[in-house]
């Protein structure tokens, strides 16, 4: 519902008249409107958004706060589709669109709204300022401006393309094609093909105002990911209609990817010059990440840490086959690890992927594991998530699973399970009482007293809000651990890990006892 019909009447008679009539706009009894041509839909949207005033506006500013889904919905405590959503809070969000010069800047400060391991995320001092000037993306930090990569450009371009005023102006640009006008219920839909950026479908209401936009992007884990961004609560600002509410929903489990609550809209207020500085413009675009190389470091007989890019995988040699603990972040990493495993132990097939938990920085290679025919072993319930990820389409950037579909082969672990043959024994245990991941497992290799784990410990973490969950689980299972073999970091003696955790717990308790304590989730109930 409009904030102020009277105010709308001031700047546009058409908006005023239709604003009165659209009180019944959601009514299914409302008669269907005559279909418009594609250009007719855009023309009507232009008028509804402010007409000449929209076309004359030089800049827009949107300020507010909001929330982003963690890992596109893959970072919740449980892999269940009914698990409550975990969020990052955007404590401050400011988007400035320089319509005249095709530039956009997004400044935000985000904070993890969950007990997290990285202190900067917990206390909310992760500040980013990202700018796109035509084809030149750059980031601004206290150290200065630096050219950013093509992904940054794409993200900012999407921000501009999915904002009503800038989208409709873009649609009116001669370089843009608009077609496929159709109706859906009482909405008019058109497809907009900008010169750069994804194709966008726009839906407008009876009044001509944009209701939502829909577009598709390639996601490393979820592949073809369709996003739908809804606009609500339009208000007239200096003659231009601007939404006060944004909600973006993806087609992966209908995850709410993002919501933004606008607290101030502005048109043609003084803005900084968003032009890229000359040294940024002339700088080469950052090179793509180098090809993945996997190093294999032996930990014990038949056990190797496979490392080389962030997360580790752990290779385990059985008498007649190989297993990998974790194929973490991506298809590319997963394939590189599988290939490397075959050279470390020639002649034995890689047949198993043991997954600590479903988070996408741990199970991001699940599609590649399935494509390689591996049997996935994880705590019961993770299979629901893995099936959902495996069922995704991958048309924008086809991957091996989409080219050669295979079913998920899954062995569930309930409380515990032992994988044992003549040369190797691995005990798998459901981790109890760990709210970071409720369906997680750890692996124990008794011959060398190794505890193989993901997300129970990382030496680089500054914050540890989970108390003695790691030690408690070792005690619960009566394990005699000598060494921690982690997915994050490098192998360390258990006594050093235990000491490090005590230091981190003390730091977290000090933070919670300080002035920020009552403002942080869980601080007041921390064990």
The rounded distance, in Å, linking the Cα atoms of 383 and 360 is 14
217, 225 in Cβ contact below 8 A?
Answer: yes
**Smallest distance from the beta carbon of 437 to Zn ion, in angstroms?**
5
**Smallest distance from the beta carbon of 304 to Zn ion, in angstroms?**
23
Residue 493 CB neighbours (<10 A)? 12
Nearer to Zn ion, 71 or 248 (CB): 71
The rounded distance, in Å, linking the Cα atoms of 89 and 38 is 38
464, 501 in Cβ contact below 8 A?
Answer: yes
The rounded distance, in Å, linking the Cα atoms of 389 and 322 is 24
**Smallest distance from the beta carbon of 357 to Zn ion, in angstroms?**
6
The rounded distance, in Å, linking the Cα atoms of 424 and 110 is 45
Output the six-digit token pair for 29.
């009894």
**Smallest distance from the beta carbon of 52 to Zn ion, in angstroms?**
52
Query: What is the binding site for Zn ion (CB under 5 A)?
Result: 359, 455
Output the six-digit token pair for 439.
């369906």
419, 318 in Cβ contact below 8 A?
Answer: yes
Nearer to Zn ion, 147 or 359 (CB): 359
**Smallest distance from the beta carbon of 476 to Zn ion, in angstroms?**
20
Give 284: exposed, middle or buried? Use CB within 10 Å, 0-12, 13-18, 19+: exposed
Nearer to Zn ion, 241 or 366 (CB): 366
Nearer to Zn ion, 383 or 455 (CB): 455
440, 472 in Cβ contact below 8 A?
Answer: no
Which distant-in-sequence residues (6+ apart) come within 8 Å of 56 by Cβ?
none
Nearer to Zn ion, 233 or 521 (CB): 521
Nearer to Zn ion, 74 or 164 (CB): 74
Give 290: exposed, middle or buried? Use CB within 10 Å, 0-12, 13-18, 19+: exposed
**Smallest distance from the beta carbon of 148 to Zn ion, in angstroms?**
27
**Smallest distance from the beta carbon of 16 to Zn ion, in angstroms?**
52
Q: DSSP string spanning 203-225?
A: EE-TTS-EEEEEEEEEETTTEEE
Nearer to Zn ion, 98 or 326 (CB): 326
**Smallest distance from the beta carbon of 325 to Zn ion, in angstroms?**
14
The rounded distance, in Å, linking the Cα atoms of 264 and 368 is 45
Residue 67 CB neighbours (<10 A)? 20
The rounded distance, in Å, linking the Cα atoms of 13 and 130 is 38
**Smallest distance from the beta carbon of 469 to Zn ion, in angstroms?**
13
Nearer to Zn ion, 103 or 359 (CB): 359
Nearer to Zn ion, 46 or 311 (CB): 311
């Amino acid at each position: 519902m409009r904030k102020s019909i009277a105010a709308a009447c001031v700047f546009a008679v058409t908006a005023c008249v239709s604003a009165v009539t659209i009180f019944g706009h959601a009514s299914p009894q409302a008669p269907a409107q005559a279909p418009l041509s594609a250009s007719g839909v855009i023309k009507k949207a232009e008028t509804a958004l402010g007409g000449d005033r929209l076309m004359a506006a030089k800049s827009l500013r949107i300020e507010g706060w909001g929330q982003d889904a963690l890992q596109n919905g893959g970072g919740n405590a449980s892999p269940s589709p009914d698990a409550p959503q975990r969020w990052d809070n955007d404590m401050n969000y400011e988007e400035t669109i320089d319509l005249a010069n095709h530039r956009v800047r997004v400044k935000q400060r985000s904070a993890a709204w969950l007990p997290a391991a990285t202190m900067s995320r917990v206390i909310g001092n992760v500040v980013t300022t990202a700018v796109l000037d035509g084809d030149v993306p750059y980031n601004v930090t206290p150290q200065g401006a630096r050219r950013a990569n093509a992904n940054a450009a794409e993200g900012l371009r999407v921000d501009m393309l999915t904002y009503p005023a800038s989208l409709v102006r873009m649609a009116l640009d001669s370089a843009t094609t608009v077609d496929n006008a159709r109706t859906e219920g009482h909405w008019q839909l058109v497809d907009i093909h900008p010169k750069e950026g994804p194709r966008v479908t726009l839906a407008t209401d009876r009044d001509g105002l944009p209701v939502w936009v829909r577009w598709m992007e390639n996601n490393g884990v979820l592949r073809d990911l369709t996003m739908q961004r809804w606009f609500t609560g339009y208000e007239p600002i200096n003659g231009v209609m601007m939404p006060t509410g944004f909600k973006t929903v993806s087609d992966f489990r209908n995850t709410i990817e993002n919501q933004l609550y606008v607290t101030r809209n502005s048109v043609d207020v003084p803005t900084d010059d968003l032009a890229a500085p000359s040294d940024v413009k002339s700088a080469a675009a950052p090179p793509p990440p180098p090809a993945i190389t996997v190093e294999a470091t032996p930990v014990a007989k038949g056990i190797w840490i496979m490392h080389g890019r962030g997360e580790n995988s752990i290779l385990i040699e059985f008498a007649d086959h190989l297993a990998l603990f974790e194929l973490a972040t991506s298809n590319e990493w997963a394939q590189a690890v599988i290939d490397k495993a075959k050279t470390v132990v020639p002649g034995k097939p890689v047949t198993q992927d043991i997954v600590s938990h479903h988070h996408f920085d741990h199970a991001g290679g699940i599609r590649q594991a399935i494509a390689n025919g591996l049997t996935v072993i994880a705590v019961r319930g993770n299979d629901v998530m893995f099936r959902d990820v495996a069922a995704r389409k991958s048309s924008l950037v086809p991957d091996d699973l989409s080219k050669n579909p295979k079913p998920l082969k899954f062995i569930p672990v309930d409380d515990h399970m032992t994988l044992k043959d003549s040369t190797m024994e691995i005990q798998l245990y459901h981790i109890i009482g760990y709210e970071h991941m409720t369906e997680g497992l750890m692996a124990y290799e008794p011959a060398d007293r190794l505890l193989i784990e993901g997300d129970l410990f990382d030496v680089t973490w500054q914050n540890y809000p989970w108390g003695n969950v790691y030690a408690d689980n070792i005690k619960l299972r009566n394990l005699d651990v000598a060494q921690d073999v982690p997915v994050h970091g490098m192998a360390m003696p258990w006594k050093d890990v235990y000491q490090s955790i005590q230091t981190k717990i003390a730091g977290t308790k000090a933070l919670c006892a300080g002035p920020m304590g009552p403002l942080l989730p869980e601080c007041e109930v921390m064990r």
